[in-house]
Amino acid sequence: MIENILRLLLQITLTSSLLIAVLLVLRMVFRGKLRPTWQYAVWILVLIRLLIPLNISSPFSVMNIIQPPPITTVETHGSDLQTFSSPFIEPLTYSEPQSNTAVQVRTEKNTSYIEKIDLFQMLFILWVIGALAVFVYMLILNRVFLRRLRQSAIELSFDQIPFYRDLCRQVGIKTPLPVVISHHLTSPCLVGLFRSYIAITPEAKTDRTILRHVLLHELCHFKQKDNLFSLLRNICCIIYWFNPLVWMAALASRDDSELSCDDRVLRYLDEKESLEYGHTLLILFNACHKKVAILNTATAMANGKSRIKTRISMIINRPKTLKTISVLAAGLVILLGVMTLTSAKADDQQNQGATIQVVGDGGLTLSDKAGASPMLNEAGSQRTLDIESLRLLANGELTFSDIINGYKADEVVKDETYHYTAWRYTLDNGLRFDLHYIQEKNLPDRYTASLSHSGSNYIFFPCRAESLERFLMACAQGDQYSLKAYASFDAKKVAEIEYDEAKQAAASLRVFDEGRIYTLDESGLFGRVCWSPDSVYGAFINMKTLDGKSGRDYCAYLYDSQNHQFYRLVNPKTVLAAFNERGIFDQEVSGIYLRPRIQWSPDGKKLLLSCYPAINGNHIVAYLVYNVAQNAVEDIVMQEVPKTLDEALSWEW
């Protein structure tokens, strides 16, 4: 979320900076050639760009050229574990298909989590501190201004201003605004957003003509909603406090609001009165001793003496807009709007590198910034999941996070007991897609997903595109097909276990490691794969009942991605001897079976398996601690069989 906010700020900052810079240049080019009211109205584009995060794709968008820098990744290799060379475990043979059968598996690079999160958090905290500082300054500034004004303000009755009602009708305001006079004001102004009133200086009341001009000017401010625009201008300065161009735009738009009001006032005055209006401005500017702060939400008719020359010049030589100039200016404004208020084409919104997402209660996971076009329908809303989308997922063109964010789930279930969140999608032809986000203790957070057909055939994701097509064909023909797939935490390796339902055994076990295929040349009941936290090793649990007599019966198998070898782990005789030597049972234990549980230590150096004696009335479970670096069973801990799930999950390294 933090990263998304920062990326949005960066994108808006880039486009708005270009928009502001061009408008500042055009403001100077067309000064004296366009009506000030038109020049002031153009700043609405900047407000829209800064405050409304539009996501309208356009081939003319400047974001097709200017893209935020991609998130860089740091790839890590290897492990601090030693290479296997002990006779305790022997390498298993594997077959490596030729290059024409290699499968390209989508990869995501390991990222330095802590450094990247710290960077994002530091930038986010810095931005929040700056925004809060500007907000507090604006709040204090306006509260002090209003308190002083209320303490010194004296309200004038409408009888004291006999021409005031006529002025309001002339401008088009049905209900006259209250008028107060204060000695603490440096300039007449319009105050307040919801209960607006006009505040004037003592100098403004010294002459009937001056008072008429002042009231007419402030009524024009109210008519063009400058009290609202002043607040929105301040909000922009709070959010984008770090961008000097935003502050320049705020100053320029405030000046243009005064010029626009002058232009409106002159519409109600004849030529002689126009000159008198200029004289009024000179009097007010001479009485104004300091500038009004940019973050003051009240307007200011006289604000320092630097702008008086421009305003008097505009009164004497009112610009007459030519048709050609109008068309040219309008065309430029429309072009600017299309370029800066829209986003890049959908086809150009490609993956910007691996990024970190904080999910759930703070767990970390990797995801790619895939384009939105495959996920959104023409109206821009979430799509219904279909087979074509799953083909994109199998090909690596979509990620699990894309499925969650871009497709509407039929059901979302959060299970606090098993620590996962599930998204369930119902497809046509009896297909169902289940996506889980799992947060297990001592392991990185991860996704798993499966596609099932009529409750019998199933295939896990991520899988090869070829495997998905085999599954779909088997479903269409009524054949049996079951495939489990387990991706490593860095998504570089995917283990596929294909099951032979007739034999109730695994028909094959293949690991796709960066496009190459490694196959274990024996079948078994491999119920689960658990990758070490650094994704170097994959442990495959054997679900068969083990008696220690069959030479190929081992508690687990280990895939070593450094040497591309399979190894047998923990001869069952070791475990049987531990049971029998301790004399826990009256009868000899001759067989054990493994509970479908396997877990790595946080450092990836030790493996924990749980197993049970295959005898009646068993109430004992054995936890095997296998030291991968030393190639040996480090410890066997006997415990009572857990009576509750919490007890079963209570193992602590």
pLDDT tens for 70-114 read 433 333 333 333 333 333 334 444 344 343 333 333 333 333 434
Q: Check residues 461 and 510 and name the one with the higher pLDDT.
A: 461
- What is the pLDDT, as a whole number, of residue 280? 86
Compute the average pLDDT of residues 488-512.
74
Give the pLDDT band of residue 279 (cuts 50, 70, 90): confident
Q: Could you tell me if residue 304 is inside a domain?
A: yes
Domain presence at residue 273: yes
Whole domain around residue 234: which residue ranges? 121-151+224-324
Tokens coding 593 = 């079976």
Strand partners, 459: 451, 483
Cis ω for the linkage preceding 462 (within 30 of 0): yes
Question: What is the tens place of the pLDDT at every residue in 11-32?
Answer: 889 888 988 998 898 888 877 7
Sheet order of strands, 537-542 included: 91-92, 565-569, 556-560, 537-542, 526-531
pTM of the model: 0.49
Assess whether pLDDT exceeds 70 at residue 495.
Answer: yes
pLDDT: which is higher, 107 or 574: 574
Domain count, the chain: 1
Domain assignment present for residue 308? The answer is yes
Strand bridging mode 556-560 / 537-542 = antiparallel
- Asked if residue 516 has pLDDT above 60, the reply is yes
pLDDT for residue 381 is more than 80: no
Residue 648: pLDDT over 80: no
Pairing relationship of beta strands 354-359 and 411-415 according to DSSP bridges: unpaired
Say what the pLDDT of residue 229 is.
Answer: 92
Cα 465 from Cα 105, distance rounded (Å): 9
Lowest mean pLDDT among 277-281, 333-337, 468-472: 333-337
Q: Give the rounded percent of residues in the chain with a pLDDT score beyond 90.
A: 14
pLDDT given at position 10: 87
- At residue 414, does pLDDT exceed 70? yes
Residue 287 pLDDT > 80: no
Q: Does any domain span residue 136?
A: yes
The mean per-residue pLDDT over the stretch 291-316 comes to 77
d(CA 510, CA 496): 5
> From start to end of 145-204, where are the E strands?
154-156, 179-181, 189-191, 197-200
CA 549/CA 89 separation, integer angstroms? 16
Token pair 């396997």: residue: 598
Residue 242 resides in a domain: yes
Give me the pLDDT at residue 179, please: 92
pLDDT at residue 244, as a whole number: 94
In a domain, 334, yes or no: no
Token duo for residue 106: 């989508």
* Helix H or strand E segment including 165: helix 164-171
Band of residue 134 on the pLDDT scale cut at 50, 70, 90: very high
The SS3 assignment for 200 reads strand
